[in-house]
Amino acid sequence: MRIALVADGAVPAEGDCSRDPHVVADGLRDLGHEVTLYVLADTGSSASDGEHTGGRSSPGSEPEERMSPHPAATWWSLTGLAPKPEAVLSMGMAAPVPSAILADSLGVPLVLCLPANLFGPAPPAPGYRRLVCRHLPAHCLLVESDRHARAAVRHGADRHRVFVVPPGIRLETSVGPAERGRRTTTSPARDRLRVFFDASATPLDDQRFVASLLDRVRAERRRRVHTVVFAPGDRPGETGDLWSGGDITLVRDRGELPARYADSDVVVVPSATVDETLPALRALAAGRPLLAADCPQNRDVVRSVRHGVLAQPGRPDEWLDKLDYLLAEAPVRVHLGRGARAHVESSFALPQALSQTEERLRSVTAAWCYAPTSDPWTQGEET
């Protein structure tokens, strides 16, 4: 199948999740499809006139094309595409409208992968959600959870065209079945437990909350805790010296994330205001005990007490008690880690997400090529 994947240029290249269009494109190619990735160019770049700018996003990946989000340039940039794709797949917040123009111009079906933040705590304007869910000529809408499916229907989507495809995470094979829930490396400070925290997409107030929580664990519960914080860039976000000290390790290289997750004792995900479940998914995939905010987006991932522990936002005493419990009980950490890994393997594995996406693409292209007859009883039969 020939597929044109149109992706928002603002989507981060995570490299381990199906939210990354490069991961989806490479995965569909591995399944035997011919995929051309079109990344929406910045309106101020030279690609805004419809010109292509080839490039590689990661080693071993296929070249990507730059496409302007302007309606006229969207069609003009693909007039020389031969043979034309059999379907258009859209990913990202800004991609649906150019994808719809492209699909309608080429006369091929359109599949929209609705981003998680379309229905998150800070969504775009309601008019844009109605436009994407109701008015664009999409033959299929792919959402990440039943909660998103209900939201899409509320904004005008046809419930019969909305399908749930949970996000897929690349499973790390370095964590074996016998080691799930335990560290994979030896810490220099053997008597300290490691708490991992991803501050890359966490608001400043939530970062301060975690810092104060860990200070209370050390002061009130007498726990020797070493904190590992992922904060890409020269400085850890806008927090300045918040994450400084001898008992804190700053990680700025995204390539270190799998090892850091696997070497942690507890992973903390405090934010309830960002519709971002990737840190929680990474913790579950690594077989780590998870302490996360009790909010709709985290409940989409943590569906049972065997998968992780949820705490109400804004209740520091509850967070303190639950974190202290996880740090004190090693058997509980092992049990939660094994349950988390099994949960991801059955529900959020990357091959499963790619297979479900492929199934939707095949179904819409088959229906698009289906030529009905005037007789409903012999519809589709050769005469």
Task: Give tens-digit pLDDT for 162-189.
Answer: 999 999 999 864 454 444 445 544 444 4
Cis ω on the peptide bond leading into residue 83 (within 30° of 0)?
yes
Largest Cα span, the chain: 82
Same domain for 141 and 65: yes
| Residue 233 Ramachandran class (φ > 0 left, ψ -120 to 50 alpha, else beta) | left
Residue 269: phi and psi, rounded to 5, are -125, 95
Distance, in Å, from the CA atom of 361 to the CA atom of 356, rounded to the nearest integer, reads 9
Task: Catalogue the E-assigned strands of the chain.
Answer: 2-7, 34-40, 64-67, 87-91, 110-113, 140-143, 162-164, 193-198, 225-230, 248-251, 266-269, 290-293, 309-311
pLDDT above 90: percentage of residues in the chain: 48
Closest CA to 25 of 89, 81, 111, 80: 89
- pLDDT at residue 176, as a whole number: 44
CA distance 185 to 366: 50
Q: How far is it, in rounded angstroms, from Cα 104 to Cα 244? A: 54
Span 256-263, mean pLDDT? 89
What confidence tens digit (pLDDT) does each residue in 267-310 have?
999 987 777 788 999 999 999 999 999 999 899 999 888 889 99
Together in a domain, 343 and 353: no
Could you tell me if residue 259 is inside a domain? yes
Is residue 382 in a domain?
Answer: no
Q: How many domains does the chain have?
A: 2
Residue 204 CB neighbour total at 10 angstroms: 13
In this structure, are 293 and 357 located in the same domain?
A: no
Shared domain check, 229 and 315: yes
Residues 230 and 135 grouped into a single domain: no
Taking the CA atoms of 112, 117, 121 and 126 in sequence, report the sign of the dihedral they define: negative
Question: Which of 43-47, 286-290, 338-342, 353-357 has the least mean pLDDT?
Answer: 43-47
DSSP string, 130-148: HIIIIIS--SEEEESSHHH
Dist CA 150 CA 170 (whole Å)? 27
Tell me which range, 52-56, 114-118, 239-243, 359-363, is most confidently predicted by mean pLDDT.
359-363
The answer to whether the CB of 17 falls within 8 A of the CB of 23 is yes
Q: Does the global pTM surpass 0.85? A: no
Domain of 255, in residue numbers? 177-347
Q: Is residue 128 part of a domain?
A: yes
Is 281 among the domain residues? yes
Query: What per-residue confidence (pLDDT) applies to 224?
Result: 87
Inter-residue contact 262 to 241 (CB < 8 Å): no
119 and 264 share a domain? no
d(CA 195, CA 183): 12
- The CATH number of the domain holding residue 60 is 3.40.50.2000
Provide the pLDDT for residue 187: 44
Question: Do 154 and 217 have their domain in common?
Answer: no
Is 232 found in the same domain as 116? Answer: no
Same domain, yes or no, for 341 and 358?
A: no
Beta-strand (E) ranges in 255-374?
266-269, 290-293, 309-311
> Do residue 9 and residue 154 come from a single domain?
yes
Contact call for residues 2 and 34 (beta carbons, < 8 A) = yes
Cβ atoms 268, 323 nearer than 8 A: yes
Residue at 132 is within a domain: yes
Please report, for residues 177, 214, 300, 311, 316, the alpha-carbon distance to residue 323 in angstroms, rounded to integers and kept in the order given.
24, 9, 21, 10, 10
Pairing of strands 140-143, 162-164: parallel
Q: Answer yes or no: is pLDDT of 41 > 80.
A: no
Higher pLDDT, 127 or 82: 127
Structure tokens given for 139 = 């033959």
**Cα separation, 260 vs 187, whole angstroms:** 11
Which pLDDT score is estimated for 371? 54
Residues 342 and 353 in one domain: no
- What are the two backbone dihedrals, phi and then psi, of residue 351, each rounded to the nearest 5 degrees? -60, -35
Cα–Cα distance for residue pair 360/90, rounded to 1 Å = 13
In a domain, 383, yes or no: no
What's the pLDDT tens digit per position in 366-382?
Answer: 988 755 555 555 555 55
| Same domain as 367, residue 340 | no
The closest of 266, 230, 235 to 251, measured between CA atoms, is 230
pLDDT of residue 189: 46
The residue ranking higher by pLDDT, 273 or 250, is 250
Find the radius of gyration of the CA atoms of the chain. Answer: 23
Of the candidate ranges 43-57, 171-185, 337-351, the one whose mean pLDDT is the lowest: 43-57
pLDDT greater than 80 at residue 50: no
